[in-house]
């Protein structure tokens, strides 16, 4: 089927679902014990399901607005945030260990000799990168619309034998958990 | 025994050298071995602990105290600054305790930080911190104390911001430094006043010469310093934010050693405070306010480390109350017992956090008693010691403090606040134990949770022994300097334990209410106040910078641009001269005939006056 491209405006469905999810998360922050949480979560789901077949968009938008206001007044001041999510306790904790790959060029030969396989192939990869760089840039220039790129997603390689644009940044990215 | 001074001084200097040696080995250009941290640092601290027991036993046996002046550093005709160490009652007892706790924490850190590529650097920072702390504790003059004071502040900054890739960690480290700096204003004020009026920074000289002065100003400066370093109300937000650092840092710095530096300063200089009622009352009221406020904040927090951090802040307030009661020795006793059980609480929390893959929220813990029975038992023992359960470590210090408070004819408001905070202590301690150890797990069973690693269990075991016997050991071997009041009505004697039991029963009732969950979102104003930390950080961290920025904008815009440039300076010249120019211009408007006739007329007048 045809996929819709995301724009800056949210659809009504997206807004309702976002409200539902954040209400559930804040409810989870309030109801610590799972069985009590499950009960109140089912009640909340029933409240949402009651109005799910509303056809009048004005009325639906007014209901959404009152729902957001109810969420705001009932939210938890310290909602539960997963440790690796933004605002969590171990978010960005390992950023200081994510060293960029050009540092590898500055290693001492004694250190480089500890990984002979990698460093023997590294020069070839760098030559390949230099060769394909102009083609990548040309592809990006050709494919980006005049007003600027619409999404952050990079296009795949179009021609046979080409490499996808900015492949070097992807291939040499640091691990999510460096240690 | 005439060898005593020699033995004491030698062993204490040897401790310093033993701790400095691993730091000095890092100055060599050759890289350290991978196990430098465990092989060198931990053994150095362990060895230093056993050596520090020798002066301790000499002191207990003979009452031997030593003051050693080793080097005349900066000496002028009028002022002397020396390197001098004072190994008296306070430092002789604190040093072994600090070394014991640090030894346990280093062993724990070798497990907690084993995946960190810079573990050696971490241990080096902890060791430098320990050296600075011991310099602070053994200082015989204010200058040396200041060196240790700043040293622990800087190491705190480096250790809180250990994971510097994280924005919150950098903010927290900066917060710690700034709040400590505000406190330092007070310390430097006190040092300057003392240098000007008493003309010496040595402790002995200060105590003997200060009797004739009104010491209110320097004492208030010292109280401000203690407010900054020991997180009293007003300069307290940095302590909960400091939980951004790894758990060994929180256990060592922000529970046992660094935060007590402010209280230690007041204890050291207590002879100056004894006769100044203003300073004592300030300490009493500030301490009472701190202990209640931070205990209130701890009631609704959900991050286990933050709860323990607020608990530390509350106990520091209690120590401040004790100083306000003119009982520095009781405050010191509480410092010593508190170090054991608070460090153990942090280590247990760290063990649980690591087992649950960095989960710190108590809403997603539970049932740890079945999974990690030893750790949760030690958590319970630590909490019991914290609340002052009879005959555990905390009882001997906390109960004595509350008795002294009850029997003093001082501020009743401070008494009420402190008793309320004592009951709150029981409430939040039960809350932690209830959500962490009891019930069913509320997390996914992703990692195999075990207690098989001796590097975790042995430190917690040692600190558990300390939490149980330390209070008894210290009180049975040390003579109190002030006579405690022995006879009092039963209600006053039992006040602390009654209040704790009331708190415990209330907490049990609240826990059962939480389990029933009558309301889906119990959003009460009191909960909101407590959860948002009294809105103190929300207001001060936004209002103070905003006012400063508005001041800067007013200066730049109103003062410089408008006033100096326009109304007074260059543009004023324009505004002043333009009317004059316009007036003169009107006169000189090309009326040639008038000018000529005027010219000839004045010429004729001049000729006439010349001729006649």
B117 with A95: Cβ contact below 8 A: no
For B431, half-sphere exposure in the C-beta direction (CA atoms, 13 angstrom radius) is 28
Show Cβ contacts of residue B314 under 8 Å, excluding neighbours closer than 6 positions: B290, B291, B292, B294, B295, B298, B421, B424, B425
Distance from CA of A71 to the nearest CA of B (A): 10
Whole-angstrom distance, CA of residue B18 vs CA of residue B15: 5
Q: CB-CB: which of B166, B359, B528 is closest to A93?
A: B166
Residue A160's pLDDT is 85
- Give the number of A-B residue pairs with CB atoms closer than 8 Å: 80
pTM of the model: 0.91
Identify all chain A residues contacting B360, using CB atoms and an 8 Å cutoff.
83, 89
Interface test with chain B among A33, A40, A176, by most B beta carbons within 10 Å: A33
Q: CB-CB: which of A34, A36, A78 is closest to B302?
A: A78
Residue B66 DSSP symbol: E
Residue B478's pLDDT is 85
Show Cβ contacts of residue B289 under 8 Å, excluding neighbours closer than 6 positions: B233, B317, B417
B521 with A27: Cβ contact below 8 A: yes
Instruction: Give one word for B483, left, alpha or beta, with left for phi > 0 and alpha for psi -120 to 50.
Output: beta
A36 with B115: Cβ contact below 8 A: no
N- to C-terminal Cα separation, chain B: 121
Whole-angstrom distance, CA of residue B42 vs CA of residue B123: 9
B115 with A179: Cβ contact below 8 A: yes
Q: CB-CB: which of A28, A36, A74 is closest to B523?
A: A74
Nearest CA to B433 out of B500, B349, B498, B503 is that of B349
Q: CB-CB: which of A28, A33, A77 is closest to B528?
A: A77
For chain A, the residues whose C-beta falls within 8 A of a C-beta of chain B are 26-34, 36, 39-40, 43-44, 73-74, 76-78, 80, 83-84, 89-98, 179
A96 with B165: Cβ contact below 8 A: yes
A73 with B523: Cβ contact below 8 A: yes
B515 with A36: Cβ contact below 8 A: yes
Distance from CA of A162 to the nearest CA of B (A): 36
Q: CB-CB: which of B169, B301, B361 is closest to A80?
A: B361
Q: CB-CB: which of B360, B361, B520 is closest to A31?
A: B520
Residue B273's pLDDT is 93
Average pLDDT of each block of 10 consecutive residues along chain B (612 residues)? 84 93 90 86 96 93 82 88 91 96 96 92 96 95 95 96 95 96 96 93 91 93 96 95 95 92 95 93 96 96 96 96 94 95 96 94 94 96 95 93 90 94 97 95 87 94 94 89 88 94 96 91 93 94 94 90 83 88 80 85 95 88
Is the distance from CB of B368 to CB of B376 less than 8 angstroms?
yes
Whole-angstrom distance, CA of residue A16 vs CA of residue A23: 10
The ipTM value here is: 0.88
Residue A1's pLDDT is 58
Beta-carbon neighbour count of residue A157 at 10 Å? 15
How far, CA to CA in Å, does B374 sit from each of B273, B368, B450?
A: 44, 10, 10
Residue B586's pLDDT is 76
Whole-angstrom distance, CA of residue B57 vs CA of residue B64: 9
Whole-angstrom distance, CA of residue B447 vs CA of residue B357: 8
pLDDT in tens, A120-143: 999 999 999 999 999 999 999 988
B165 with A97: Cβ contact below 8 A: yes
Interface test with chain B among A96, A97, A175, A176, by most B beta carbons within 10 Å: A96
A91 with B166: Cβ contact below 8 A: yes
The widest CA-to-CA distance across chain A, in whole angstroms, is 73
For chain B, the residues whose C-beta falls within 8 A of a C-beta of chain A are 115-117, 163-167, 169, 301-303, 357-361, 363-364, 435, 439-440, 442, 514-517, 520-523, 527-528, 531-532
A26 with B521: Cβ contact below 8 A: yes
Apex CA B344: angle with CA B502 and CA B120, to 5°?
155
In chain B, what are the domain boundaries?
Answer: 3-518, 569-611
| The token pair that represents B530 in the structure block | 């407590």
By CB neighbour count within 10 A (0-12 exposed, 13-18 middle, 19+ buried), where does B168 fall? middle
How far, CA to CA in Å, does B80 sit from each of B77, B84, B132?
A: 8, 11, 22
Is the distance from CB of B164 to CB of B170 less than 8 angstroms?
yes
Name the residue of chain B whose CA is nearest to A96's CA. Answer: B165
A77 with B520: Cβ contact below 8 A: no
A93 with B520: Cβ contact below 8 A: no
B165 with A94: Cβ contact below 8 A: yes
């Amino acid at each position: 089927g045809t996929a819709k491209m995301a724009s800056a405006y949210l659809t009504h469905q997206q807004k309702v679902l976002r409200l539902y999810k954040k209400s559930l998360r804040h409810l989870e922050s309030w109801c610590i014990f799972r069985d009590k949480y499950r009960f109140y979560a089912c009640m909340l789901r029933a409240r949402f399901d009651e109005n799910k077949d509303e056809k009048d968009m004005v009325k639906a938008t007014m209901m959404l607005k009152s729902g957001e206001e109810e969420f705001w007044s009932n939210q938890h001041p310290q909602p539960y945030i997963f440790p690796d999510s933004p605002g969590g306790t171990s978010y960005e904790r390992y950023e200081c260990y994510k060293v960029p790959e050009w540092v590898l060029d500055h290693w001492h030969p004694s250190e480089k000799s500890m990984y002979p396989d990698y460093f023997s192939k590294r020069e070839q990869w760098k030559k390949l990168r230099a060769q394909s760089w102009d083609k990548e840039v040309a592809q990006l220039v050709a494919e980006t619309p005049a007003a600027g790129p619409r999404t952050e997603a990079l296009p795949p390689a179009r021609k046979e034998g080409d490499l996808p644009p900015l492949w070097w940044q992807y291939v040499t990215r640091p691990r999510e958990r460096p240690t | 025994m005439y060898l005593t001074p020699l033995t004491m001084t030698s062993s204490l200097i040897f401790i310093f050298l033993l701790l400095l040696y691993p730091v000095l080995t890092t100055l060599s250009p050759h890289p350290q071995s991978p196990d430098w941290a465990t092989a060198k640092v931990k053994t150095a601290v362990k060895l230093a602990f056993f050596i520090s027991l020798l002066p301790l036993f000499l002191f207990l046996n003979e009452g031997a105290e030593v003051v050693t002046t080793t080097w005349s550093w900066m000496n002028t005709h009028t002022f002397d600054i020396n390197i001098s160490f004072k190994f008296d009652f306070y430092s002789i007892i604190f040093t072994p305790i600090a070394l014991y706790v640090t030894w346990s924490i280093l062993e724990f850190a070798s497990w907690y930080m084993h995946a960190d590529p810079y573990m050696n650097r971490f241990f080096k920072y902890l060791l430098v911190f320990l050296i600075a702390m011991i310099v602070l504790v053994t200082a015989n003059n204010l200058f040396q104390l200041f060196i240790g004071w700043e040293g622990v502040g800087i190491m705190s900054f480096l250790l809180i911001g250990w994971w510097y890739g994280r924005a919150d960690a950098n903010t927290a480290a900066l917060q710690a430094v700034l709040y400590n700096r505000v406190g330092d204003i007070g310390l430097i004020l006190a040092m300057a006043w003392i240098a000007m009026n008493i003309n010496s920074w040595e402790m002995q000289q200060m105590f003997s010469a200060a009797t004739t002065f009104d010491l209110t100003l320097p004492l208030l400066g010292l109280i401000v310093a203690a407010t900054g370093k020991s997180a009293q109300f007003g300069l307290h937000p940095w302590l909960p934010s400091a939980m951004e650092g790894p758990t060994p840092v929180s256990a060592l710095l922000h529970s046992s050693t660094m935060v007590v530096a402010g209280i230690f300063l007041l204890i050291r200089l207590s002879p100056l405070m004894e006769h100044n009622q203003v300073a004592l009352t300030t300490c009493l009221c500030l301490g009472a306010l701190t202990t209640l406020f931070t205990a209130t904040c701890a009631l609704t927090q959900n991050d286990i480390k933050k709860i323990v951090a607020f608990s530390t802040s509350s106990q520091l307030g209690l120590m401040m109350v004790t100083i306000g009661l003119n009982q520095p020795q009781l405050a010191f006793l509480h410092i010593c017992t508190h170090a054991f059980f608070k460090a153990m609480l942090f280590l247990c929390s760290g063990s649980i956090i690591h087992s649950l893959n960095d989960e710190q929220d108590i809403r997603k813990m539970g049932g740890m008693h079945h999974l990690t029975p030893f750790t949760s038992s030690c958590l319970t023992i630590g909490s019991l010691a914290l609340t002052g359960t009879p005959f555990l470590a905390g009882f001997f210090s906390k109960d004595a403090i509350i008795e002294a408070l009850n029997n003093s004819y001082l501020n009743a408001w401070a008494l009420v606040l402190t008793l309320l905070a004592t009951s709150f202590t029981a409430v939040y301690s039960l809350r932690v134990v209830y959500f962490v150890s009891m019930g069913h797990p509320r997390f996914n069973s992703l990692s195999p949770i075990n207690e098989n690693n001796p590097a975790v269990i042995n430190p917690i075991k040692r600190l558990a022994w300390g939490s149980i016997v330390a209070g008894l050991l210290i009180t049975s071997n040390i003579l109190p300097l002030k006579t405690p009041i022995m006879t009092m009505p039963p209600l006053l004697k039992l006040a602390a334990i009654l209040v704790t039991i009331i708190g415990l029963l209330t907490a049990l009732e609240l826990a059962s209410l939480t389990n029933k969950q009558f309301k889906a979102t119990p959003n009460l104003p009191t909960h909101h106040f407590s959860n948002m930390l009294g809105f103190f950080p929300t207001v001060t961290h936004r209002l103070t910078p905003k006012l400063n920025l508005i001041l800067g904008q007013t200066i730049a815009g109103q003062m410089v641009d408008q006033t100096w440039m326009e109304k007074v300076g260059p543009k004023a010249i324009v505004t002043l001269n333009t009317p004059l120019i316009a007036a003169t211009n009107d006169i000189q408007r090309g009326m040639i005939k008038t000018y000529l006739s005027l010219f000839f007329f004045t010429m004729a007048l001049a000729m006439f006056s010349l001729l006649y």
